[in-house]
Chains A and B, each alone.
Chain A
């Protein structure tokens, strides 16, 4: 019978924890760390990547049924600036709607060209390699570009698009 009572109290014992004051103090400290990190991040954005020079590139996918991403290489004005190899966990995150911040850098005002090379597995598990390019003019505002991997249902092939966004 003693064991039976133990079972019955199994959940109850887990729930009967009162919040001691030290927990409150610890939580406040954690919150201060979060705030400090946030302020630091904002200052870094302001100082290291001001809008006048900022270029940021993101990766996202819509469904991702016809393509499995292995890697992305980014070329800015024909010069490689970033490359990323994807783990299964990262690709899964993107397929579930997450947006990956792929690259952030500074560029001069004027016309630029960005090329993204996608490598992975296409329909029927075949090796797939596609590039997509985008030409843009850098002005006073930050340039935000989203590399979208879409499913094209008309021919069951993946589709790669560069979508510019404004931060206003």
Chain B
């Protein structure tokens, strides 16, 4: 089928000029587009490698390179490239296009912000010039807020509609609401958050006709705004709910806050914070039964957390507030056991980590520490990155070995060519050339003679040969016998006849000889050229040896690099384990402190319950 198709199309689609016409030069963006292939397939290292081989390093390539460095966790290299880009002239032929300059400025401002250089970040942000299309406006405004926090600029009204097309809009508006709350305008902040919530809640999709006949035809042309991924949209909704609840708490509108938090989804990424706020409200409102349930939920949901540990004591405290002293004592006793159990678990699960455990096999406590502490998480990621590099080393070594084998094979081929085949072939060529020269000379000499035997062939050759033999025989007989001159005349007549025949065909014969000689000459020249090419290949030995040397150097570099990576990994692991042990010590100290506090509460309850028990015992006696 394939062959049938190929043959059919071969005739129709064949490009006749392709055999002769020179191919156009590869376009400048070729490597960029090849890098894009690796980039889209989530292979940033491969993409960077391809990109760096590009002959033309234009600003767009440089920006992608910076982005790839960021993706590979190399912000310093990315910053270097961005800095070089921004140092380019702002005007003239070599000026960086405005859109690309804005991207570079925003990226660089973000990097400076992450380093804590707010003034420098502000300086780069100020250079961003948003065009009429408003591209990058959202990013610029959000970064400006982060740089200026908490003194951010506040517009008259929330820019919900103005920034509807930007993914950053909810973050910008919620930050503004926070700033308003800080300025004591919590009612305005609540109003802004409400508007934001409305913008985010996309109404159920209705068909064209349903919208038209339901009188909502105005919605048909309305912009829908930025469409968020479902998870992000849910998290944004939860974040706004939490902000609103917090503002209600500040305004002592506890019932409103409780109403918001009562229906807060438990599976939300912000559920821990919501539970904290909810327990605060319930404490204030003295809704003890509900509060106890919330505290138990916190203890269950947030293992090894201070909130859960404090919750354990707070259970008893709430019962104590209700004057349920025996219940409180039981709760404190439970808390005592809980603290002891938690201490044991922390000690048990906080064992020093190995690299293999980072990939799989972390204890619950270790997982929690890495997910809650930025530095620890970053350290673990760095260790895993180094591990990836180390894991790639054997494959690299295999490639190096394969190349070494290839070079050796080529060198052996060269050696054989240079030592035996090339001299032998050269000798053969020289012999042939000599024979050709001799032949040429012989033909030239023969052509000087009136009737040369060597220049005849076929019947003429046979006749001339017989004539010459007869002449020789006659000459020998004539010298001894002095015979009649009639034979000599007859022989001369025959020679004249043959000479006449030969002269008649000599032009054609001469032409054929010239042609044949020319053909031999051309063939000899071609052979010489081929030999020259072979000899040239022989001269590539030096290049191959240089490549072999380069491979040896690369192999050595690879080994040194592996050692450096291994050493780096051990340092990072030691640092991670050290910080984890510090966390462990701090948490155990917290637990000891809570245990001490809990023991005091237990003693207090016993003091309260003891007289009553003694009295009851006395009455009983």
Seen from chain A, the residues whose Cβ lies within 8 Å of a Cβ on chain B are: 1, 3-4, 6-8, 11-19, 22-27, 29-34, 36-44, 46-48, 58, 60, 73, 75, 78, 89-90, 92-94, 96-101, 111, 113, 115, 117, 129-137, 144, 160, 162, 164-168
Contact = CB atoms under 8 A, between A and B. Distances in A.
Contacts of A58: 34
Contacts of B209: none
30 contacts: A6-B273, A7-B243, A8-B150, A8-B182, A11-B146, A13-B374, A15-B113, A17-B116, A19-B76, A22-B568, A22-B575, A25-B568, A26-B385, A26-B386, A27-B73, A33-B565, A36-B396, A37-B49, A37-B396, A39-B550, A40-B399, A40-B554, A47-B410, A96-B36, A98-B36, A111-B19, A117-B2, A131-B2, A135-B10, A166-B26
B37 A101 contact: yes
Interface string B63-79: 00000000011111100
A36 B564 CA distance: 14
Given A14-B374, A40-B399, 13 more contacts: A7-B246, A8-B150, A15-B146, A24-B76, A27-B75, A38-B49, A133-B10, A134-B13, A135-B14, A144-B23, A166-B22, A166-B24, A167-B26
Interface stretch (B294-302, B357-365, B400-408, B598-606): B400-408
A40 B396 contact: yes
Contact of A43 (B23, B114, B403): B403
A12 B22 CA distance: 59
- Among B5, B181, B396, the one with the most A-chain Cβ atoms within 10 Å of its Cβ is B5
A4 B45 contact: no
Interface string B17-43: 011001111110010011011011100
Nearest to B147: A15
A47 B406 contact: yes
Interface in B528-569: 547, 550-551, 554, 557-558, 561, 564-565, 568
B163 interface: no
Contact of A1 (B115, B146, B250): B250
B541 to A, nearest CB: 14
B116 A15 contact: yes
A78 B6 CA distance: 9
Nearest to B31: A99
B106 interface: no
B225 to A, nearest CB: 23
B77 A89 contact: no
Contacts of A115: 2, 6, 9-10
